[in-house]
Amino acid sequence: MNRETAPLLRVEGLSKHFPVRGGFFRRVTGWLKAVDDVSFQIAHGQTFGLVGESGCGKSTLGRAILRLHEPTAGRVILDGTEITALPRRALTAARRRMQIIFQDPYASLSPRRTVLQTLLEPMEVHRIGTPRTRREKVLELLHIVGMGPEVLHRYPHEFSGGQRQRIGIARALTLDPRFIVADEAVSALDVSVQSQVLNLIARLQRELGISFLFISHDLAVVQHISHQVGVMYLGRLVEIAPAEDLYRDPLHPYTRALLSAIPVPDPKRRRKRIVLQGDVPSPLAPPSGCPFRTRCPEAMPLCAERAPRLTQRHDGRAPHRVACHLY
Amino acid sequence: MSSALLSIRDLVVEFSTERGRVRAIDGVSFDLAPGETLGLVGESGCGKTVTALAVLGLIPSPPGRILSGSIRLEGRELTRLGEREYRHVRGKLISMIFQEPMTALNPVLTIATQMTDVLVRHQGMSRRRARDRAVEMLALVGIPSPEKRIDDYPHQMSGGMRQRVMIAMALSCNPKLLLADEPTTALDVTTQAQVLEEMVRLQERFGTAVILVTHDLGVVAETCRRAVVMYAGRVVEEAPVECLFEQPRHPYTEGLLASIPRIREEKLPELPTIPGSVPDLLHLPPGCRFADRCPRADELCRRREPKLELRCDIAVACHHPNRYAGCRE
Amino acid sequence: MNRSRERTSLWAKAWYKLRRDRIGMISLGVVLLYFVVALGVWLGLWGQGWSQVEGPMWAPPGPKYWLGTNIIGQDIFERALYSTRTAFDVGLVVAVLSTLLGGLMGGLAGYFSNRWADELILWLMGVLDAIPFYLFVAALAYALQGNPYAMHIAMIATFWTTTARLVRGEVIKLKQFEFVEAARAIGLPRRLILFRHILPNTFHILLVQATIVFVGAIKSEVILSFLGLGVTDGVSWGLMIAESTQEVQAGHFSNFVTASSFLFVLVMAFNLFADALQDALDPRKVSA
Ligand SMILES: Nc1ncnc2c1ncn2[C@@H]1O[C@H](COP(=O)(O)OP(=O)(O)OP(=O)(O)O)[C@@H](O)[C@H]1O
Ligand SMILES: Nc1ncnc2c1ncn2[C@@H]1O[C@H](COP(=O)(O)OP(=O)(O)OP(=O)(O)O)[C@@H](O)[C@H]1O
Ligand code: SF4
Ligand SMILES: [Mg+2]
Ligand SMILES: [Mg+2]
């Protein structure tokens, strides 16, 4: 099938720079490059996992793709439509095809609206169906996320974190989107509930063929759910590879450090780990050259001079790309 | 066990809320040997923090109070101490590290002021010596150029640095017991690795006993010798870490271990899960608290609550535990 | 953690909390009692004889004139009853309108924070706040020569700014919440996001603010009437206190004591009720 090969989402050179204001009259004194020149693709029905440490720009990237933040530069093409070029009105219509699930199940539902109101709203806004069919759709969605009709008239504060997250997922599904950004969708949940929600997302992906951008700081969670994985550091993608390759053969020194830092629930395997020195530099004053060089155990003089570009690894079996002067 | 540094027996802490009285922990017992690191694990709301606060005598009252049970530190009963005596214990014998380093440090005082205050008050040091000691401690936890950074305000430091400052501060009085409540949960993995490494190193050097509260079994596996697993206000299993991870005996521990996402060679089609969710503490089932979610639950489980039984260094509260498979300990 | 099975909205929970607050409920009772008095006056059940000059001057309290009469022989009790109506007139009108205005302006300013609409509203609030209140009322009363609503307008124009500031702050906070972003992701128009998702979550502020403004309006009314800038038709506690100045010099305290006690009890009860309401509605305490 041709659909398998043509990507659903293409992100090209996407940047989001926030103005930094200060001094008199709150003038713009600098720019914070939260996302800087990021490109990648997501195939139909696949999940792209995005990992990186706090503040590296994962959420900003997800929101810029959906134009919840206006991108500073770059293009986003979803299913042939250039999202970044749409005027406001057309964007509203395009929102049907792309949705988002948030991290904080406590903050992502309107506290004074019932589950039914929350789930009906997207269909009302887009004038989909009749009141009858809308209600049926809501019940069907609740069934998909494993909840029954008894929850319809309850308020968010009456649910546990995992249940709220399910409601958030149901809301994202109401418009039958082709693409969903899941921003730390399971990070706030307890392990036993986390695995329930992860399985749910994996199932939706299989059964409904939705593509996901799955954002998380947890490499283990990402591995389980992703086909492709991108590693982000200080606003840039430093490595992109199919999940198996990335975990079997991580190339970028940052990816390696990240992988070795994960605590392993097995006391007999206390491995030697790469402990990084120092802290993540401020995104306001990123280092010259390679953004990772201040903490990189293998930094060379060249790294301070020139920023490495994301390039295809030389032996090039799988499409494994890395931004590092070592390769 | 008279050799224990800390010994908690049948501790019950109750909170009165608008919905009724909640037993946040209900009959918690465990021991801690001097210099030992004990992991206290369980899901959100199972009572880990309340247990730690009870040891520190910091249960907010009202609404909370210790209903019954005993907490002994070096044989001395803590639950009957007055506030003044407790303050003495807190400064000198026990200290605590909180989850959110930003709220645990006073934002308007420099690190130097906050660290020296503690030393002056509890160790009776002069300001001068206290400052030297503080700088020394900061160097020990790996803060670069500590003699300069000591005059920073908390907001001038990163999360990882603040947590290291908290560790330095907690250990500066050389306490016998350190309570660390999710000390690295707010940190990135790479920073978490740094901080845990410092903590373990210092703990070994000073011979401090540590109770590490966390929901991350990976952290427990890497840093603790023994672990206590809690569920809905009760201890369900206590075991040496090697046994716990090799052969969990309680179905809950087993489910928890299975459902942790971990990096695997082969991707599983489906992550194992524990169905359902934690029971509401106000509407607890009559029998085992885990029965609703347990694959092995039977009539007995739903009727009678299992007691914590100790066998060969492993304590389990379950009617149908996994069989004991010859632990080396 | 809240996993109750009951179907409860946050409002129901707040009401439940309020009901268990004894002082709150007593003060609510007092306020309602006053309200019934005012309602009775509106409906013509009592307090209608406030302007009749029928009794002797300075009659002592007794079965005919419960609290005595004033300098020109009017029944003080009747006048105090009627003044309750005046107080609720002023209080309700000012509280409702200034809260609506404040909520709307604050909502707009907060939603469009750091843009021109916000700058404009902030500037307007700054200007209004900078004008001394009594000077403003005097000027307005003069400008609206004889219009009985001059005082109301002046109060609304000054009181809405506090509400607006509070609401603006809350809206700016709420805007960061993910449920607002979720609404944007769905494609909800901005108008709906503001009115459906953001402003309803400021209702607790509006409600508490309305009670506070209510008390403020009643107190200001008394002072303004005392100064001759307030109520022009009818009677109010302020006017009663103003007339009583001559009487107090002559050793007759009934008029003064009656008017100030009526005022004091209402203001006190309202303040206590506002406190209790604030506690009950505090979303942090309610949702926890
Ligand atoms: N609205 C904004 N205005 C200015 N700066 C912002 C804004 N949103 C994010 N930033 C900055 O952009 C950078 C990236 O933030 P972002 O939230 O995307 O990180 P993240 O990778 O999602 O982190 P986390 O894991 O903590 O969620 C941070 O330095 C942050 O301070
Ligand atoms: N101040 C309080 N008032 C009322 N209930 C409380 C209070 N503090 C704790 N509780 C209750 O006690 C129970 C245990 O809480 P605790 O904070 O110990 O959980 P925890 O295991 O530390 O969870 P987490 O991983 O979320 O920190 C919870 O159900 C909570 O509702
Ligand atoms: S006692 Fe029964 S229900 Fe409880 S954990 Fe054991 S087997 Fe399961
Ligand atoms: Mg984020
Ligand atoms: Mg806790």
The tens digit of pLDDT for each residue in B297-329 reads 999 999 999 998 888 788 999 999 988 766 554
The tens digit of pLDDT for each residue in C239-271 reads 788 777 777 777 777 778 888 888 888 888 988
**B20 φ/ψ sector (left φ>0, alpha ψ -120 to 50, else beta):** left
Sequence-ordered list of residues with C-beta below 8 angstroms from that of C5, at least 6 positions apart, any chain: A158
Q: C116 to each of A26, A184, A188, C106, C191, how far by Cα in Å?
A: 15, 35, 38, 14, 17
Output the average pLDDT for chain B: 86
Rounded Cα–Cα distance for residues A73 and C128 (Å): 43
Compare all CA atoms of chain A with the CA of B196 and give the residue at the minimum distance: A263
pLDDT at B211 over 90: yes
Q: For residue A19, report the phi and psi dihedrals to the nearest 5 degrees.
A: -70, 140
Surrounding ion ligand 4 within 5 Å at CB are A 59
The tens digit of pLDDT for each residue in B136-165 reads 888 887 787 888 888 888 877 777 788 888
Compare all CA atoms of chain A with the CA of B160 and give the residue at the minimum distance: A279
Sequence-ordered list of residues with C-beta below 8 angstroms from that of A295, at least 6 positions apart, any chain: A254, A257, A276, A277, A278, A280
Tell me if chain A has a CB within 8 Å of the CB of C16: no
Instruction: Inspect the interface and report whether the beta carbons of C201 and A68 lie closer than 8 Å.
Output: no
Compare all CA atoms of chain A with the CA of C188 and give the residue at the minimum distance: A125
Least confident of A263-277, B248-262, C124-138, C150-164: A263-277
For residue B269 the two structure tokens come to 């089609």
Which of B26, B50, B65 has the most ligand 2 atoms within 8 A of CB, as the residue to mutate? B50
Asked if B45 and B103 touch (Cβ cutoff 8 Å), the reply is: no
Q: Contacts of residue B280 in chain C, CB cutoff 8 Å?
A: 1, 3-4
Domains in chain C, CATH or no CATH each: 76-287 (1.10.3720.10)
A244 in any annotated domain: no
pLDDT at C15 over 90: no
Burial environment of residue B269 by CB neighbours within 10 A (0 to 12, 13 to 18, 19 or more): exposed
Compare all CA atoms of chain C with the CA of A25 and give the residue at the minimum distance: C114
pLDDT at C19 over 50: yes
Tell me if chain A has a CB within 8 Å of the CB of B222: yes
Asked if C199 and C163 touch (Cβ cutoff 8 Å), the reply is: no
Residue nearest to atom 6 of ligand 3 (CA): B318
Which of B254, B294, B308, B309 has the most ligand 3 atoms within 8 A of CB, as the residue to mutate? B294
Asked if A239 and A321 touch (Cβ cutoff 8 Å), the reply is: yes
Q: For residue B238, report the phi and psi dihedrals to the nearest 5 degrees.
A: -135, 125
Q: Contacts of residue C187 in chain A, CB cutoff 8 Å?
A: 91-93, 95-96, 122, 125-126
pLDDT at C1 over 60: no
Q: B26 to each of B20, B64, C171, how far by Cα in Å?
A: 16, 13, 42
In this prediction, residue C8 has a pLDDT band, given cuts at 50, 70 and 90, of: low
What Rg, from alpha-carbon coordinates, does chain C have? 22
Instruction: Please name which of B97, B10, B91, B16 lies closest in space to residue B49, comparing C-alpha atoms.
Output: B97
Instruction: Inspect the interface and report whether the beta carbons of A102 and C8 lie closer than 8 Å.
Output: no
Helix (H/G/I), strand (E/B), else coil: C209: helix
Q: Contacts of residue B292 in chain A, CB cutoff 8 Å?
A: none
- For residue C4, the model assigns a pLDDT of 41
Shortest Cα–Cα distance, A125 to chain C (Å): 6
For residue C116 the two structure tokens come to 């021109």
Helix (H/G/I), strand (E/B), else coil: B12: strand
What Rg, from alpha-carbon coordinates, does chain B have? 21
Instruction: Inspect the interface and report whether the beta carbons of A195 and B215 lie closer than 8 Å.
Output: no
Rounded Cα–Cα distance for residues B306 and B291 (Å): 11
Asked if B9 and B69 touch (Cβ cutoff 8 Å), the reply is: yes
- For residue B306, the model assigns a pLDDT of 93
Which of A29, A35, A59 has the most ligand 1 atoms within 8 A of CB, as the residue to mutate? A59
Question: What is the domain count for chain A?
Answer: 1
Rounded Cα–Cα distance for residues B52 and B177 (Å): 11
The ligand 2 atom at the shortest distance from the C-alpha of residue B213 is 22
Whether the CB of A321 sits within 6 Å of ligand 1: no
Whether the CB of A16 sits within 6 Å of ligand 1: no
Instruction: Inspect the interface and report whether the beta carbons of A112 and C200 lie closer than 8 Å.
Output: yes
Sequence letter at residue B84: R
Asked if A133 and A185 touch (Cβ cutoff 8 Å), the reply is: no
Asked if C80 and C240 touch (Cβ cutoff 8 Å), the reply is: yes
A1 in any annotated domain: no
* A111 CA distance to ligand 5 middle (Å): 24
Asked if A73 and A82 touch (Cβ cutoff 8 Å), the reply is: no
Helix (H/G/I), strand (E/B), else coil: C57: coil
Tell me if chain B has a CB within 8 Å of the CB of A151: no
Least confident of A20-34, B194-208, C104-118: A20-34
- For residue A2, the model assigns a pLDDT of 46
Q: B236 to each of A323, B40, B293, B308, B319, how far by Cα in Å?
A: 48, 11, 14, 7, 11
Shortest Cα–Cα distance, B88 to chain A (Å): 36
Helix (H/G/I), strand (E/B), else coil: B196: helix
Where in chain B are the domains?
Answer: 6-231
Instruction: Please name which of B300, B294, B288, B327 lies closest in space to residue B311, comparing C-alpha atoms.
Output: B327
In this prediction, residue C115 has a pLDDT band, given cuts at 50, 70 and 90, of: confident
A309 in any annotated domain: yes
For residue A13 the two structure tokens come to 């050179």
- For residue C47, the model assigns a pLDDT of 67
If you search the block for the tokens 């465990």, which residue do you land on?
B30
Alpha helices, DSSP H, located in A19-177: 58-65, 88-94, 115-125, 131-144, 161-173
Sequence-ordered list of residues with C-beta below 8 angstroms from that of B183, at least 6 positions apart, any chain: B97, B98, B99, B163, B166, B167, B195, B199, B212
Sequence-ordered list of residues with C-beta below 8 angstroms from that of C23, at least 6 positions apart, any chain: C272, C276
Tell me if chain C has a CB within 8 Å of the CB of A95: yes
Instruction: Please name which of C71, C67, C124 lies closest in space to residue C101, comparing C-alpha atoms.
Output: C124
b/e for A37-75, b at 16 or more Cβ within 10 A? bbebbbbbbbbbbbbbbebbbbbbbbbbbbbbbebbebe
**Sheet bearing A7-22, strands edge to edge:** A27-43, A7-22, A73-78, A81-82
C4 versus A13: which is more confidently predicted? A13
Q: Contacts of residue B19 in chain C, CB cutoff 8 Å?
A: 2, 4
Supply the range of the domain harboring residue A300.
Answer: 250-327
pTM: 0.82
Instruction: Inspect the interface and report whether the beta carbons of B280 and C4 lie closer than 8 Å.
Output: yes
Q: B266 to each of A223, A231, B256, B263, how far by Cα in Å?
A: 10, 21, 20, 9
Question: What is the maximum span of chain C, computed from C-alpha positions, in angstroms?
Answer: 75
For residue C104 the two structure tokens come to 């709307």
For residue C204 the two structure tokens come to 């607790």
Sequence-ordered list of residues with C-beta below 8 angstroms from that of A54, at least 6 positions apart, any chain: A217, B159, B188
Compare all CA atoms of chain B with the CA of A255 and give the residue at the minimum distance: B190
- For residue C287, the model assigns a pLDDT of 40
Question: What is the maximum span of chain A, computed from C-alpha positions, in angstroms?
Answer: 67
Instruction: Inspect the interface and report whether the beta carbons of B45 and C20 lie closer than 8 Å.
Output: no
- For residue B238, the model assigns a pLDDT of 94
- For residue A179, the model assigns a pLDDT of 94
Query: Which residues of chain A fall short of a pLDDT of 50?
Result: 1-3
Sequence-ordered list of residues with C-beta below 8 angstroms from that of B148, at least 6 positions apart, any chain: none
Burial environment of residue C62 by CB neighbours within 10 A (0 to 12, 13 to 18, 19 or more): exposed
Residue nearest to atom 11 of ligand 1 (CA): A34
Asked if C230 and C147 touch (Cβ cutoff 8 Å), the reply is: no
What's the topology of domain B6-231? Rossmann fold (3.40.50)
Give me the residues of B, 89-148, that contact A with CB < 8 A.
144
ipTM: 0.81
Asked if A310 and A251 touch (Cβ cutoff 8 Å), the reply is: no
DSSP 8-state assignment for residue C198: I
- For residue A87, the model assigns a pLDDT of 92
